[in-house]
Amino acid sequence: MCGIFAYKGPKTNASELVIKGLKKLEYRGYDSWGVASKCDGEVSIYKEIGKISDFDFDNPPPECDLKRECSLAMGHSRWATHGGVTVENAHPHYSTDKSIAIVHNGIIENYIELRNELKEKGYKFESETDTEVIAQLIQEYKKDNDIVESVKKAIERLEGRYAILVMCADEDKLIAARRGSPLIVGKGEDEFFVASDIPAFLEYTRNVMYLDDDQMVVINDKVEFFDIKSGDKIDKRVVEIDWDVESAEKGDFPHFMIKEISEQKDTIARAINQDDEMIMKIAEEIKSAYGTYIIGCGTAGKVALAGSYLFSKVAERHVNTTFGSEFPSMQNFITDKSLVIAISQSGETADTMEALEIAKKKGAKVLSIINVEGSSMDRISDYSIYIKAGPEKAVASTKATTAQMAILTLLAYACADKLDEGKILLVDTASKINDMLNPRYEEHILKLAKQIKDHESMYVIGKGMNYPMALEAAIKLQEVSYIHAEGFAGGELKHGPIALIHDGVPCIALVSNDETKHEIISNAIEVGSRGGYIIGVSPDNHEVFDYWIKVPDGGNASPIINIIPVQLLAYQLALLRENNPDMPRNLAKSVTVK
């Protein structure tokens, strides 16, 4: 949520590099943007509302000064929290005397009291944001301290979560600090990058240093890390990242979403290429825990729910699931014998992260199933399993979802002492997905999308392991098509939701060849009898289906396969309804605020 990027080094086109970096981070927030650059002893700020991808650096508006030569610049692409989408609320923000500039990702919870205090001292506020207080506090402390000490003192006053970057007019330094929101330093040859996410600087360097909570970094011609509380210097390890540049680019695809859907030909196989010993060790932890909780938010929350069905079916084992945001209300059940498993693509989602912090405080063991190595969840966890999906940049999660499902399937089989059987199933699933994803298949789904694109509502039903996937299918449709979509357990329809069905309403039925098949078909018939337009996602056709999307029979991995045609449908609907599938309105890729 919100993208941050900065450059400090010998190059003199720092602002241009920042614009380029921000464009790569746009998936994190895209309602407004801005850049602060240091030239001739001044910090100048340029801001706009709208998407940074629409900004043409070679043909800037006359008032834009970003072409001036400079070697230090920082920028921000915003997802609004406090204050509407206006130029004034866009970051960076100045202090009153314009000597300090700041960009911020996160939420400062005590900003109102700080603002009142600073107003009384004569500070002038130009925005409605929570961020501006930080710049003003630094100006205040700088009366008696150097810039590094002033930043430290300002930070000590903040309550909440933040990743901040600070520049000041009279020093050639870039200062960054974090608590709860991601910030990574990229170390190039005599140059440094700071960003919210690695793909933003991947074309310049793969050598990264992670900033942990309550740490700050000061960059001039060298880089120094400090513990904010003690002031002690920290020796940071430089980690080499093995992502390639292409994996973070669209290539020949028109959108990241379709690129990432297509990559599922390979990602399942990659996900299950894990160290068997580690998988068996984690299976043992699950078996010996006095209660296992799988948590996640949004799509990852649906995957967590799917996990509980998988563990029940494959391993005859009970696991609990809840959303990260609901976990605090469950914490009374957590003890030092519990195991908490977080599912997350980014490894940064604030609600999931808070749940892990609670679990850790209670002495529980924590496992993260994540895509981003070195992320906050990775570092707080006792064990991490990397899903190896490569950078996922479209806001709507696709390849990370199915890779997470594959890992949970593997773990469920490992818990049943049938790891090899699980692996064979998933290798087979990967090759079935490879066969399924072809232009003819996409054409068949486009035909359906054209038929239903103008509907106001649609529904998805599933039973057993397909129920969480019905919920996930609804999220996919909501996020990118903006059609009202809801997922239901098929058997629940008759208890209320069936009242919503009327002539022609599209209803997707996820049907697998398992013990749930006959009942979910009966539910589809009930919807069909009330005029619903039944779209069957199933290995076999059935007379109740008005439109049939054939999927291979995947056995216990069917949910992984069944979600893919709905991802494609959501993508096609987004295009037909002229929505940008990569940047849906009101959303951001990584939700680092609560």
CB of 77 to ligand M6R, least distance (A): 17
**Is 589 in the active site?**
yes
Is residue 11 annotated as part of the catalytic site, yes or no? no
Positions 458 through 497 that interact with ligand M6R (CB under 6 A) = 475, 479
Binding mask 154-183 for ligand M6R (x = CB under 6 A): ------------------------------
Which residue in 79, 591, 592, 593 binds ligand M6R (CB under 6 A)? 591
Secondary structure class of 130 (helix, strand, coil): coil
Residue whose CB is less far from ligand M6R, 168 or 593: 593
- 118 vs 200, which CB is nearer to ligand M6R? 200
- Quick one: which of 44, 129, 139, 299 contacts ligand M6R (CB under 6 A)? 299
Within 8 A by CB and 6+ apart from 538, the residues are: 509, 510, 511, 512, 545, 548, 549, 550, 551
Q: How many helices (H) and strands (E) does the chain have?
A: 16, 25
Q: Which is nearer to ligand M6R, 24 or 236 (CB)?
A: 24
Q: Site for ligand M6R (CB under 6 A): which residue of 37, 196, 344, 376? A: 344
Separation CA 510–CA 212 (nearest Å): 43
Question: Which of these, 535, 552, 423, lies nearest to 485 by C-alpha position?
Answer: 535
Please identify, among the stretches 37-45, 295-303, 426-434, 463-471, the one whose residues bind ligand M6R according to the rule CB under 6 A.
295-303
349 binding ligand M6R? (CB under 6 A): yes
Closest CA to 34 of 59, 55, 13: 55
14 contacts 70 by C-beta, under 8 angstroms: yes
Looking at the Cβ atoms of 169 and 474, the one nearer to ligand M6R is 474
Alpha carbon 501 to its chain's center: 33
Say what angle helices 558-576 and 399-415 make with each other, to 10 degrees: 170
Half-sphere exposure of 77 (CA within 13 A, CB side): 30
The one segment of 35-43, 194-202, 338-346, 487-495 that binds ligand M6R by CB under 6 A: 338-346
Report CA Rg, the chain.
25
- Pick 66 or 377: Cβ nearer ligand M6R: 377
Q: What sign does the dihedral 488-491-496-501 (CA atoms) show? A: positive
Residue 69 CA from chain centroid, whole number: 34
Kindly write down the DSSP assignment for every residue of 381-409, as one continuous string.
-SEEEE-------SSS--HHHHHHHHHHH
- The nearest distance, CB 473 to ligand M6R, in angstroms, is 11
Tell me: does residue 567 bind ligand M6R (CB under 6 A): no
Query: With the CA atoms of 352, 215, 126 and 114 taken in that order, what torsion angle do they form, in degrees rounded to the nearest 10?
Result: 90
Given the rule CB under 6 A, which of 65-73, 139-147, 265-273, 296-304 is the region that contacts ligand M6R?
296-304
Q: With binding defined as CB under 6 A, does residue 395 bind ligand M6R?
A: yes
Size of the site for ligand M6R (CB under 6 A): 16
Tell me if 368 contacts ligand M6R by CB under 6 A: no
Closest CB to ligand M6R among 24 and 589? 589
Side-by-side strand order, sheet with 533-538: 484-489, 457-462, 506-510, 533-538, 547-550
Stretch of residues binding ligand M6R (CB under 6 A), selected from 253-261, 389-397, 446-454, 557-565? 389-397
Which CB atom, from 392 or from 526, has the smaller least distance to ligand M6R? 392
Q: Which stretch binds ligand M6R (CB under 6 A): 72-80, 342-350, 442-450, 458-466?
A: 342-350
Q: Give least dist CB 352 to ligand M6R, A.
A: 5
d(CA 435, CA 438): 7
Question: What does the DSSP assignment read for 251-264?
Answer: TT-S-HHHHHHHTH
The answer to whether 396 and 384 have CB atoms below 8 angstroms apart is: no
- Active-site residue (options: 20, 302, 423, 589): 589
Q: Closer to ligand M6R by CB, 136 or 346: give it.
A: 346
Residue choice 396, 406, 471, 561 for contact with ligand M6R (CB under 6 A): 396
Edge-to-edge strand order for the sheet containing 184-187?
42-49, 32-39, 72-78, 3-8, 192-195, 184-187, 207-210, 239-240
Look up tokens 């940008």; give the residue: 580
Q: Output 490 or 581, the one with its CB closest to ligand M6R.
A: 581
Out of 2, 168, 297, 415, pick the active-site residue: 2
Residue 208, φ and ψ in degrees, nearest 5: -125, 155
Q: Toward ligand M6R, which CB reaches closer, 395 or 412?
A: 395
Span interacting with ligand M6R, options 7-15, 212-220, 293-301, 419-427, rule CB under 6 A: 293-301
CB 391 to ligand M6R: min, Å: 12
356 makes contact with ligand M6R (CB under 6 A)? no
- Minimum gap (Å) between residue 371 Cβ and ligand M6R: 8
Query: Quick one: which segment of 71-79, 227-235, 265-273, 340-348 binds ligand M6R (CB under 6 A)?
Result: 340-348
336 and 303 Cβ atoms separated by less than 8 Å: no
Question: Residue for token digits 């120094």?
Answer: 224
Using rule CB under 6 A, residue 346 touches ligand M6R = yes
CB 489 within 8 A of CB 462: yes
The catalytic residue positions are: 2, 589
Residues at the interface with ligand M6R (CB under 6 A): 297-300, 344-346, 349, 352, 395-397, 475, 479, 590-591
